[in-house]
Structure 1
């Protein structure tokens, strides 16, 4: 009987755990607007959303994107990011933005500001859109 309870708890516990995405990053309707990328102000529109636990989506300067979020807060790690393939004058910024998302390893949220960073010093700073 004791062995059964141990095995049952091992099956149930992972299902009870959550990465906290909706709570930590705002609800599924929160849109985060990119304000700076590696210390440089960003004037083109680039957004990030967390539509459901374990997912990211948004609009880079040219294309829409989505993908899995594979780490629990405060760690930040994405799986492969899928994006549409339209050209625009801001493709270089888009590439830097999507690479930044891919290379981010840590997230912090404080007073409506989301910061994604990595050990190399790269940062993406977002403000919760009104």
Structure 2
């Protein structure tokens, strides 16, 4: 992250699932996810793809990103998480095991030191 001058706490907005952009509600599935920046994250422009994993086991969805693919550059490692304020990453009650129904298709994405 140092190569791109990204710092812990740097943030942007992201479509959580490129296949469900601007949809409400959306369903995320346990496992790999492809997301897309909708605003700049440091030098990374909108439409940069973020690759990560979704966990749906708890009351809130956890999305962690490990790789970024800029539109005209080489992929590189990334350590970032998706977040929304006020519990908005909380699953809707009708979510089935292995899935998470969320009200919104966009979230904040923030650079972190490591995953905990």
Q: TM-score, normalised by structure 2?
A: 0.35
Q: TM-score, normalised by structure 1?
A: 0.32
Structure with the higher strand share, 1 or 2? 2
Larger radius of gyration: 1
Structure with the higher helix share, 1 or 2? 1
Larger relative contact order, structure 1 or 2 (CA cutoff 8 Å, min sep 6): 2
